[in-house]
Structure 1
Amino acid sequence: MPYVNIKITREGATPAQKAELIKGVTDLLVRVLDKNPATTFVVIDEVAMEDWGVGGLPVEAYRTSLKSSS
């Protein structure tokens, strides 16, 4: 009974995009690990950008630093 938790920043992923993620992850587990899709759980958590950090920075500052370094 696989359980997959996807965390993304809350930036407007559409219901169609979320459905595609759920289907894609489920299909991958079926193909690679021969898991039963009926018992495969996929949960998408949306996290506010100010609650997520990368490399010691809030996500927004991290993204800004990437843009300024290119």
Structure 2
Amino acid sequence: MAKEQVAKLFRDAKANPALREELSAAPNVDAFIEMAKERGYDFTVEEWQEMTGFSVEEVEGKLSEIPGL
């Protein structure tokens, strides 16, 4: 299930600083989702937003500023 994938990504990013750094380098939400998929996490922007509570406008800044990443 996609929600489990989002939760797994957050846990993994918290435990793995290198993963967190890589994903934080994403220039936008779509790139972030694509980078996550390349690393085996399968979810959509909508599913990610639902799990994290962030709107697209809120994540237009640096992804590294998002709590948990």
Q: Going by fraction, where is strand more abundant, 1 or 2?
A: 1
| Shorter-chain TM-score range | under 0.3
More helix by share: 2
- TM-score (normalised: structure 2): 0.26
TM-score by length of 1: 0.26
Query: Which structure's CA Rg is the greater one?
Result: 1
